[in-house]
Every structure is written in structure tokens, then in C-alpha cells.
A and B are shown apart, each in its own frame.
Chain A
Amino acid sequence: MSLKAFHIVFIAASTLLVLGFGAWCLRNYFGKNGAGVDLALGAGSFLLAAGLVIYGKYFLKKLKRISYL
């Protein structure tokens, strides 16, 4: 597996983590001591996840010629 393939795996894992973190923030927001900052961070995390997906697509396009091996 080349660095290109491993990077795609890593970006996918990071996206899942950021989505999970966003869900964790929203759970806190709707919990007993929820604060506005939890909602802001939750929304920020979802935006970051979208950013990572866009970056992943850009990366694949940029390194189209390089092998996955």
C-alpha cells in the first residue's frame, strides 16, 4: 500500500472521528449542562468533516497518476 492509499484511509478515519466528536458535542448540548459552546463546536466539527471529504477528493484528483501500491 502506498502513502497515497494510506492517506485516503487516514482521511476517512479522521472524518469519522470528527463526525463522532460533533455528535459527542451535540449530545452534551442537549444534556443536563449543555452550553452554547457545545452547539458551536458540534456544528464546527460537522463543517470540518465536510472539509476533510472535500480535501480527500482534491487529493485523489491531484495524485491521479500515482499508484495505490
Chain B
Amino acid sequence: MEIPYVVQPRQDTGLYNAKVGIWLFLASEVMLFGALFSSYIILRIGAAPGEWPVGLLNVWIGMGNTLVLITSSITVVLAWASLKMNNFAKFKVYQGFTILLAMTFVVIKSFEYTDKFTHYEVVLQDNTIYDGHLKERTPTHVVIHGHKVEHGRHAEGEAHGSKTPHTDIRIERAQIKKMENYGPWHNTYLAIYFTLTALHALHVIGGAVVIGYLWGPGSKLWKTDPERFTNRIEISGLFWHFVDLVWIFLFPVLYLL
């Protein structure tokens, strides 16, 4: 028995099976990200005035990654349009760029994560706080490249990436009361930041794997069933656009506001 509407759309809906499937899947994704966005809003509104950290992230890196994703959406749609115009060679070029841009996004994100995991807040026994990047760690002392901070300055967004001069600071272990990096355990903001961006990065990686497969071994289908292959590219493009659209919301919420 042949499955209907695998390639040709149904007359009444104008949709083929895979398109219905991807939109149902994207609806579930909207609920997933929507729940996390709602959590973010509730946590942010619930925070005491002046307590929500701002300025912890590098806006220029975030904006750079935003431009990378916007460009990748353009290349993914141009790849699909090339197939519609029967130009397989152009498809290969555009989709190759999409894969490269996806990898660029992940690499930039990994640099951002590394920066956060090597960035420490050190509280001394006398409650003095030092903030900076770990340079050396021995059983007797640690050296951070950073500066001394006053209480509350983190909340006002002056601690990270500020114009305060940074120097190498040697701190004896015996003086340290608490030492913690800027991982998801550091505060509520970083917990939701890592949850949202890691989930998003997983989607980018997943999308890139699918697009990569259709660009490489999966592209053989073009020779035997070009219409079905073009549909597959459209489906992967719809997913890619969703992932990019999520970032369009994530960037201002996490980096600017």
C-alpha cells in the first residue's frame, strides 16, 4: 500500500505529510521554550529590586552570534530556493555555508561558556570580594586576573567587563571563605541563562547534523526523487528558522534587558 501525500500536498490542506509533522513538532517546541521563557519572566519579576544581575554577558559576542544565525537563515532559504529553481550546485554552496555558520555559532558559544567557567568570585574571611579569571591554582594559593569589588556592585552590572582596571591578585587559600565560578550554580540568572542557551545550542547542533546529512550522503535522493528531496530541505529549513527565531527572542532577554 502506498502512503499518500508523501511528496504531493493534499488538495484541501495544501500540505504534504512531513510539513504537518514538522509544524506539530515545532508546536511542542514552542511549549518547551515558552515554559522556560515564562520561568525566566517569573524569576526576574520576583527578584528583589536591584538584585537581578545585569551586564554579566558580553553583548558584542551575543550580537555577533545573532548576526551569524540571521545569515544562516538566509543561506538555508536560498539553498531551498536553488532546488526549487533546479540548481543543485548552488544548493550545495548555500547549504555548505549554513553548516559553517552553525559551527561558528557553536564555537563562539563554547568560548562564552569557557569564559564563564573560568570566571570566579572569591569571598575572603573578612568578606572582601575579588572577581576575575582564574590564572593559577595551587594547594596554597590562587591567582586571579581581576579586581576588588564592593558589595552590591554585581547587581548593578559594574563587576563584569567594567572599566575597572584588572590586575593579577594572589590570594592565600587560608584567607578564602568561598570561591565559586560563574556556572549555573552561581545565581538564579546564570541558572536560567545556561538552561536556555544550552537547550538552544543542542537544537543548533541537532539542526546542523540533519542539514549536514542532507548536504552530504542524503543528497543522493536528488537524483532519484528531486521533489521529495526539496521537501526535506524545506522541512530542515523550517526547523532551522525556528531555532534562529528562538535566539532572536533569547538575545535581547538575556543580554540587553
**Are B73 and A7 touching (Cβ within 8 A)?**
yes
Determine how close the nearest CB of chain A comes to the CB of B253; give it in whole angstroms: 11
**Are A63 and B252 touching (Cβ within 8 A)?**
no
Interface residue ranges of B239-257 to A (CB < 8 Å): 241-242, 244-245, 248, 251-252, 256
Tally chain A residues at the interface, Cβ within 8 Å. Answer: 24
Contacts of A52 in B (CB 8 A): 70
**Are A24 and B256 touching (Cβ within 8 A)?**
yes
**Are A3 and B241 touching (Cβ within 8 A)?**
yes
The docked-state distance in angstroms from the alpha carbon of A32 to that of B63 is 22
- Residues of B in contact with A, size category: 20 to 34
Contacts of A63 in B (CB 8 A): 81, 84
**Are B248 and A13 touching (Cβ within 8 A)?**
yes
Say yes or no: A3-B252 contact (C-beta < 8 A), given A10-B244, A21-B63.
no
Contact with B along A14-29 (1 / 0, CB 8 A): 1001001100100000
**Are B14 and A69 touching (Cβ within 8 A)?**
yes
Contact with A along B66-85 (1 / 0, CB 8 A): 10001001100100110010
**Are B251 and A3 touching (Cβ within 8 A)?**
no
The docked-state distance in angstroms from the alpha carbon of A4 to that of B242 is 13
**Are B14 and A59 touching (Cβ within 8 A)?**
no
Determine how close the nearest CB of chain B comes to the CB of A56; give it in whole angstroms: 10
**Are B81 and A62 touching (Cβ within 8 A)?**
yes
Contacts of B81 in A (CB 8 A): 62-63, 66
**Are A10 and B241 touching (Cβ within 8 A)?**
yes
Interface residue ranges of B183-237 to A (CB < 8 Å): 234, 237
Contacts of A69 in B (CB 8 A): 9, 14-15
Chain A residues near B (Cβ < 8 Å):
1-4, 6-7, 9-11, 13-14, 17, 20-21, 24, 33, 52, 55, 59, 62-63, 66-67, 69
Give 28 CB contacts A-B under 8 Å: A1-B23, A2-B19, A3-B77, A3-B80, A4-B77, A6-B237, A6-B242, A7-B77, A7-B241, A10-B241, A10-B245, A10-B248, A14-B70, A14-B248, A17-B248, A20-B252, A21-B252, A24-B256, A33-B163, A52-B70, A55-B74, A59-B77, A62-B81, A63-B81, A63-B84, A67-B14, A69-B14, A69-B15
